[in-house]
Structure 1
Amino acid sequence: MEGKDLKQLIKLAESGDARAQFRLAFLHIKGSGVVKSTAQAVHWYEMAANQGLSAAQYNLADMYLRGAGVEQSYIVAKDWFEKAAEQGDIDAQFNLGLLYLQGKGVEQSDQAAFSWFLKAAEKGSARAMYDVGTLLAAGRGTDRDDTRAKEWFRKAAAHGVPRASDMLEEFE
């Protein structure tokens, strides 16, 4: 993006258009038509995220999770993932599950991990399907249920998760 289109995008972003802010942040990540700058990307993602744009909330959370352009913080990442997850963002729901499972930025909770993984799995996240199966098979965060675990492993395998096929073989 260059010239007139870029100037229009910047004008929209500066006037408070959340989608334009998101797009401008992405351009700063890539260095496409603008200076490559994670600091500028964070600035524009924050602007859009504070207006409730779930994609910006997710990307901002991911930057805090990785420490990309910001000081790494599981707590801040969790807060932004939660905002995006509450709007139905599947990847945010999955990542929240991981944070709760690992106790990063939150008190470790198998129950919360299972709940977030299940939400993401029910919406089609293959990785979450596998993790739901794993937690069901181990009885972590929920009652042990081998039948349901196998169902989730089958779904994950059908979505191309190789480890899910391995887990199914263990049940046979």
Structure 2
Amino acid sequence: MASASWDPDAPDLQRTVAFRDLRAAPAIAACREAVAVAPRLRRLSFQLGRAYDRQGANPEAYRAYLQAAELGSGAAKVNIGILYRQGRRFEKNDAKARAWFRAAAEAGIPEGMYCYATALDNGLGGAPDGALAKAWYVKAAQRGTAKARDALMRLELDGTGTGAICD
């Protein structure tokens, strides 16, 4: 009910749901029950976080994502970074967003690689670094992230500050 197609822990890529299509209330109920049964299964906490996130309950989403991240979920690290970057009903902190994106990128999550590259490209939470942004965009693109290829092209043509965002 709340599995993301870009989460490497997703058990069945044929049964994922886009964030905009996620039905928060039933997903929260199902995920809370699943987490209660298997609290060490990180994908369940990540999915619970997505469901809370979709509902706009960002402090609850953060707690669920943090539990998943502590269990090793790179996907949860990406979404924690997004919570900090957006700052809606949550603390806005670009430096923390960048740090979480970096952790996800270093964990090998293509979406995390893209998000970290956007932070480096646009100076989110620190100084821009075009060379490092390019390296991470390339890594994300090599792993199938189409939006990374687009951002890489803009970076190569126009330099840093492409405006590419992770959300």
> TM-score under structure 1 normalisation?
0.67
- How many Å separate the matches in 2 of 1:39 and 1:101? 23
Query: 1:132–1:44: structure 2 CA closer, same or farther, 3 Å change rule?
Result: same
Question: Quick check: 1:90 aligned with 2:90?
Answer: no
Counterpart amino acid of residue 80 in structure 2? L
Matched with 1:44 is 33
Deviation of residue 43 (structure 1)?
Answer: 4.4
**Which of the pair has more CA radius of gyration?**
1
1:166 to 139, 150, 154: 150
Matched with 1:28 is none
Asked whether the equivalents of residues 28 and 52 of structure 2 are also in contact (C-alpha less than 8 Å), the reply is no
Counterpart amino acid of residue 36 in structure 2? M
Matched with 1:64 is 52
% same residue: 34
Structure 1: which 5+ residue stretches go unaligned? 1-36
Query: 1:146–1:99: structure 2 CA closer, same or farther, 3 Å change rule?
Result: same
Higher helix share: 1
Query: 1:135–1:46: structure 2 CA closer, same or farther, 3 Å change rule?
Result: same
Query: 1:136–1:43: structure 2 CA closer, same or farther, 3 Å change rule?
Result: closer
Residues 43-86 of structure 1 show CA distances to partners (whole Å, capped at 9, x for unaligned) of: 4234146x44322211221221223xxxx511101111011112
Deviation of residue 165 (structure 1)?
Answer: 1.7
Equivalent residue of 1:100, what SS? helix
Asked whether the equivalents of residues 45 and 60 of structure 1 are also in contact (C-alpha less than 8 Å), the reply is no
Deviation of residue 105 (structure 1)?
Answer: 4.0
Whose relative contact order is higher, 1 or 2, with alpha carbons under 8 Å and at least 6 apart? 2
1:73 to 16, 36, 57: 57
Matched with 2:43 is 55
Written as runs of structure 1 = structure 2, the 5 A alignment for 1:20-31 is none
**What is the alpha-carbon root mean square deviation over aligned residues?**
2.1
Asked whether the equivalents of residues 93 and 120 of structure 1 are also in contact (C-alpha less than 8 Å), the reply is yes
Counterpart amino acid of residue 56 in structure 1? L
Question: Quick check: 1:104 aligned with 2:88?
Answer: yes
Asked whether the equivalents of residues 137 and 149 of structure 1 are also in contact (C-alpha less than 8 Å), the reply is yes
Query: 1:107–1:123: structure 2 CA closer, same or farther, 3 Å change rule?
Result: same
Matched with 1:149 is 133
Structure 2: which 5+ residue stretches go unaligned? 1-25, 158-167
